[in-house]
Structure 1
Amino acid sequence: MLSFLSTGLLDFSAWQVVIYTLVVTHITIAAVTIYLHRHQAHRALDLHPIPSHFFRFWLWLTTGQVTKEWASIHRKHHAKCDTEEDPHSPQTRGIRKVLFEGAELYRAESKVKETMDKYGHGTPDDWIERHVYTGRSTLGVASLLVINVALFGVIGLTVWAIQMMWIPITAAGIINGLGHWWGYRNYDCNDAATNIFPWGILIGGEELHNNHHTYATSAKLSSKWYEFDLGWGYIRMLEMVGLAKVKKVAPKPKLAKNKAQADFDTLQSVIANRYDVMAKYAKSVRHAFHEEFEHLKHKAQLESRFLKSSRKLMQREPAKLESSQKQQLVELFQHSKALETMHTMRVELGAIWERSHSTRDQLLHQLQDWCNRAEASKIKALQDFSIRLRTYA
């Protein structure tokens, strides 16, 4: 009996137990990002019943996760992102609360019937879901405890504890917490979502949270050439063997070389790819700022800290700026007409796809006028951006 408690049925070495733990926790991560997140919550892909039910069973066994609860809470998170109604935003609840008590926030929201009824549509509702996966959601993790102890002996308790903590720490804590608090942003989306790390391996690609919040229904979370989404790799492998079908990925703009003037195709493409357009414009702002930097630092005698923070402010959505931040830009623009023009033109460009009352012809005229004024501005960064913009097709 003592020997069994010491080694279990498998008599694994310490390293073998570590490898086993890493494998099973990674399968759980894959189940969350592929099944719960991209398939169930966002319908970015369809899954064949075999992987779909495997993931459902695995999550019941290793997390006690109920599909309807997870999908409902995540959909509400997107609908109410970073507001007081967001179930787990560090912007409203504080980073420590979400980072260390993310699972508790999830459990509290799962008891809100209104959330389940409003956001839980389309999730599994078959017999096994009602009577086992939801009806006996704690039976899975209890069974896992018995299995781990049987396989590894007493050390199986530690393996089980790690499995129980894995999703609360990585998903509920790190992604929901740090993913709205710290990191880099490819796109100025309507919330505070950030990319924590460009290589999404440990948490299956969920690290690319800013990309996801920009294109929520995309099955692929990586966006730049240097980014890596491991979950997308798994999806492509499932698709190659007929076990998955990708429904949507983030749009990629098509460019028509040597287009002399923006046309209706340009207008449609610019509106459809507005986040990409604004990301490219932010890059143009950085180039313009670089050209003005020495003048502002030495001739205008502005401090480097002021200039660096101003550069970041110029890349953000103007409507999101606080009054003190707007005043900082006013002070900056007193010393640089070029940067003031870049800022004004950004506001005008963004207004094109916000004018829902304008006709197609009016919007095209506004876009053409914008390009003409940009190319007549004598600001190289703005001119280069406009030349590229009118090639959208």
Structure 2
Amino acid sequence: MAIVIFVLVLWYGGLFFQSFFLHRYAAHQVFTMSKTMERITFVLTWVFQGSSYLSAYGYGVMHRMHHAYTDTENDPHSPSHDANLFAMMWRTKNIYQDINKQRIEIDQRFTKNVPQWKAFDAFASSRFSRILWISLYILFFAFFTTSPWQWSLLPVTFLMAPIHGVIINWFGHIYGYVNYKMKNTSKNLFRFDFLMMGEGYHNNHHKFASRANFGVKWYEIDITYLIIRLLNAFGFIQLKQIEVKS
């Protein structure tokens, strides 16, 4: 039981900071926060993403490119131009690393105001940091595993952030339903997105990219947005626009 709870905490904790910080803040800037709060969120993202930590800068720039070039050859991740999900993951990894290491020229519109903490990113993305987290995960499993099948969950803890990315960037462009017909393949994965905390409303998000609330229909409850509203109410962040479901 401890193993399942541990994996769920990592799943939803890592997913929240990917959605809240990397996606809605770094890429789309639907709310603002103080520099101190930003630094705290950098650290919390590292804590919950662990061995699969993603930098806000690399993610933010790449995601803006995804919106600008959706389903074209310039899209960093698209089922329309990658043979399979593993090919897409590999290409995404290479583009992400090229952005972070400044090996490719990036249009200024993709980098404007994207948060960056170079010293912390260098540490959190280092081999030392990733091996440290992997070692801690293995130790936790060694102490708390009660059944052999639980070991099958260990690789998930290593690759949590890429798994989250694949669910949205691969499956979210192949399966699901659409509320808006668009010139791309984005789809909503679930009527109620219990698995991805609102990220699964991908078609809605492509239609309204700057909207903090990814849900549109009454049943499309965006759990991350509800938490954002709570953080806004307590003054930790400042939402640029309070949205009401239509």
Q: Deviations over 1:159-201 (max 9, x none)?
A: 6532222221222x12101212221111123322111112122
Provide the residue aligned with 2:229 in structure 1. Answer: 236
- TM-score by length of structure 1 reads 0.54
SS at the partner of 2:73? coil
Provide the residue aligned with 1:165 in structure 2. Answer: 159
CA distance in 1, matches of 2:180, 2:38: 31
Is 2:186 aligned against 1:197?
Answer: no
RMSD after superposition: 2.6
SS at the partner of 1:115? coil
Provide the residue aligned with 1:53 in structure 2. Answer: 39
**What code does the residue aligned with 2:104 have?**
K
Q: 1:175 to 1:184 in 2, by over 3 A?
A: same
**What code does the residue aligned with 1:212 have?**
H
For structure 1, the residue ranges without an aligned partner over 5 or more in a row are: 1-14, 254-393
The answer to whether the Cα contact below 8 Å between 2:33 and 2:236 also exists between their aligned partners in 1 is yes
Structural mapping, 1:335-346, within 5 Å? none
Is 2:34 aligned against 1:34?
Answer: no
Q: Percent identity of the aligned residues?
A: 27
> Paired residues, what number?
232
Structure with higher helix content:
1
The answer to whether the Cα contact below 8 Å between 2:190 and 2:201 also exists between their aligned partners in 1 is yes
The equivalent position to 1:220 in structure 2, one of 213, 218, 221, is: 213
Provide the residue aligned with 2:74 in structure 1. Answer: 85
Structure having greater relative contact order (Cα 8 Å, sep ≥ 6): 2
For structure 2, the residue ranges without an aligned partner over 5 or more in a row are: 146-150
The answer to whether the Cα contact below 8 Å between 1:109 and 1:115 also exists between their aligned partners in 2 is no
Is 2:141 aligned against 1:141?
Answer: no
SS at the partner of 2:32? strand
**What code does the residue aligned with 2:74 have?**
E
Larger radius of gyration: 1
Provide the residue aligned with 1:384 in structure 2. Answer: none
CA distance in 1, matches of 2:182, 2:171: 16
Q: Deviations over 1:49-96 (max 9, x none)?
A: 5653343223334123121111111000001111111111112224xx
CA distance in 2, matches of 1:219, 1:30: 14
The equivalent position to 1:132 in structure 2, one of 116, 120, 124, is: 120
Structural mapping, 1:228-307, within 5 Å? 228-248=221-241
1:121 Cα deviation from its structure 2 partner: 2.7
